Chain A
Amino acid sequence: MKHVFLDEYSDLRSPVHQLDPRAKLVGFAALIVICVSTPPDRYAAFAAYLGLELALVLVSRLPWRHVLKRMLVVLPFILVVAAFLPFFGEGGGSYNLGPLTLSAHGLLVLWNVAAKSTISVLAVILLSSTTPFPELLKGMEKLKVPVLLTTILSFMYRYVFVLMDELQRMRRARDSRGWSGKWFWQSKVIGHMIAALFLRSYERGERVYAAMLARGYGGGTHTIYLYEFGAMEVGFMVMLVLFPLAARLIS
């Protein structure tokens, strides 16, 4: 069945896809921290961050449609929390736009959150769309994230697709029986579906554990790490840290 894939397009081949996940994790995290801590009036610096990311999207051959669609995720939060700010903010002078008065301070705050969240979200999309999730977890493990945490996450990744399929079958069964939910009181069906999903998930967990024990599970998993931290990785990290830092200092 077709559903939302967590790490869609991470199976493409490109110079960015082939990098060691550790370099991408640290590099993109550094870019986000640098971007978030930049004062909002350094417009040239934000342009430089965005330019670097757009270049990486080109190099990694990700489809633009996919990138733009994923970027929409920040829009609702900006609309609810920040879109009204220019009309309420105080101080810093104001602009008149016909009958509307826009506060300069409010506009600056709106620009600040919109620019920073857009650039950061693009960085995470670049990371997750160029790195298969299991490889990302192995990279995290190499960076000393607790093994218990990464193991649980890798099992979660393994089973989330199974449960999504389960949910899709339940949804199809519901809809084929003529359900058309429009009103709140019709939510009873949803409650029962979630309960059924929980019971099936939990019982699957028990079966998975029994199957693991039967195969000699003793608390750990061993896998091969295929990446090497070479010149490409060093170059990539230098680019993702030094270029934004330089742009920030110069602007």
Chain B
Amino acid sequence: MHIPDGFLNTGVSVVTGVAAAGAIGYGLYKAREELDERSVPMLALCAAFIFAAQMLNFPIAGGTSGHFLGGALAAVLLGPWLGGLVIALVLLVQCLGFADGGLTALGANVFNMALIGTILIYYVFHGIKLLLPKSRSAFLAATGVTAWLSVFLASGACAVELAISGTSPLSVALPAMLGIHALIGIVEGAITVLVVGVVLAVRPDLVRTYDYRPVAAGLGEAEVSG
């Protein structure tokens, strides 16, 4: 879903670029406010974590594999603005380091995966959480649905941007992108639920959005090793 250079027209590049820069700027402001000087090591380690986790392939069927994206995970673990900032950092390093995602499309990629896939999705998650009973399993169910939606909506936004730019017609690009990512999203949802479940069991204090206390399974910090 990393759009390369040359696929978007000037209008789309500029509008998404301005929105992305605004979100990163506000994210940095929130980071300074919430984490003060801790923000440097904590955000760097979280971004490096997402970066590394995206390199881990998981099997889908008969030997094909996909990789984890992590937008919803970042939103659930870190909240909207820090999570969005972390995803934007990952995209920036992928763009400059691997040429994965174009320089003039960086704004659009940040817009799709950080602004929609993480920041907007956090508020969706918040809404789903309000509708469900306050329990650990409901929290995990909300996490799974959110992770699926995160991938689905981000890919839809990508298709719309390509259509506005006149690259590929919406009638073809939108169903194709949504169809592929509806499947990818299922795996993303399952993995995100597993990850959040383990973190909740071992260090519930690290899941910023989990506000139901006490946690059912009473595993302490002593469980973490290494």
Query: Given known contacts A113-B167, A148-B31, is B206 in contact with A159 (CB within 8 Å)?
Result: no
Write out the residue numbers on chain A whose beta carbons fall within 8 Å of the beta carbon of B43.
152
Of the stretches A56-64, A193-201, A228-236, the one at the interface is A193-201
Chain A residue at smallest Cβ distance from B42: A205
In the assembled complex, 16 residue pairs joining A and B whose CB atoms fall closer than 8 Å, in A order, are A29-B103, A74-B4, A77-B4, A81-B7, A116-B7, A119-B6, A146-B28, A151-B40, A152-B47, A160-B51, A163-B51, A167-B53, A184-B190, A191-B191, A195-B197, A209-B41
Distance in angstroms from A91 CB to nearest chain B CB is 12
Chain A residue at smallest Cβ distance from B37: A219
Q: Restricting to B27-50, which residues have a CB under 8 Å from any CB of A?
A: 28, 31-32, 37-49
Chain B residue at smallest Cβ distance from A167: B52
- Cα A73 to Cα B2 in complex, Å, equals 10
Q: What band does the interface of chain B fall in when counting residues whose beta carbon is under 8 Å from A?
A: 35 or more
Distance in angstroms from A249 CB to nearest chain B CB is 19
Chain A residue at smallest Cβ distance from B97: A6
B10 touches A37 (CB 8 A): yes
Chain A residue at smallest Cβ distance from B95: A124
Write out the residue numbers on chain A whose beta carbons fall within 8 Å of the beta carbon of B51.
156, 160, 163
- Does chain B have a CB within 8 A of A217? yes
Chain A residue at smallest Cβ distance from B24: A149
Q: Which of A88, A117, A163, A192 contacts B5 (CB 8 A)?
A: A117
B4 touches A6 (CB 8 A): no
A120 touches B4 (CB 8 A): yes
B195 touches A82 (CB 8 A): no
Write out the residue numbers on chain A whose beta carbons fall within 8 Å of the beta carbon of B193.
191
B96 touches A160 (CB 8 A): no
Write out the residue numbers on chain A whose beta carbons fall within 8 Å of the beta carbon of B168.
81-82, 85, 109
B99 touches A125 (CB 8 A): yes
- Cα A151 to Cα B147 in complex, Å, equals 30
B5 touches A183 (CB 8 A): no
Write out the residue numbers on chain A whose beta carbons fall within 8 Å of the beta carbon of B100.
73
Chain B residue at smallest Cβ distance from A164: B52
Q: Which of A88, A136, A162 contacts B172 (CB 8 A)?
A: A88
- Does chain A have a CB within 8 A of B77? yes
- Does chain A have a CB within 8 A of B130? no
B58 touches A181 (CB 8 A): yes
- Cα A184 to Cα B62 in complex, Å, equals 9
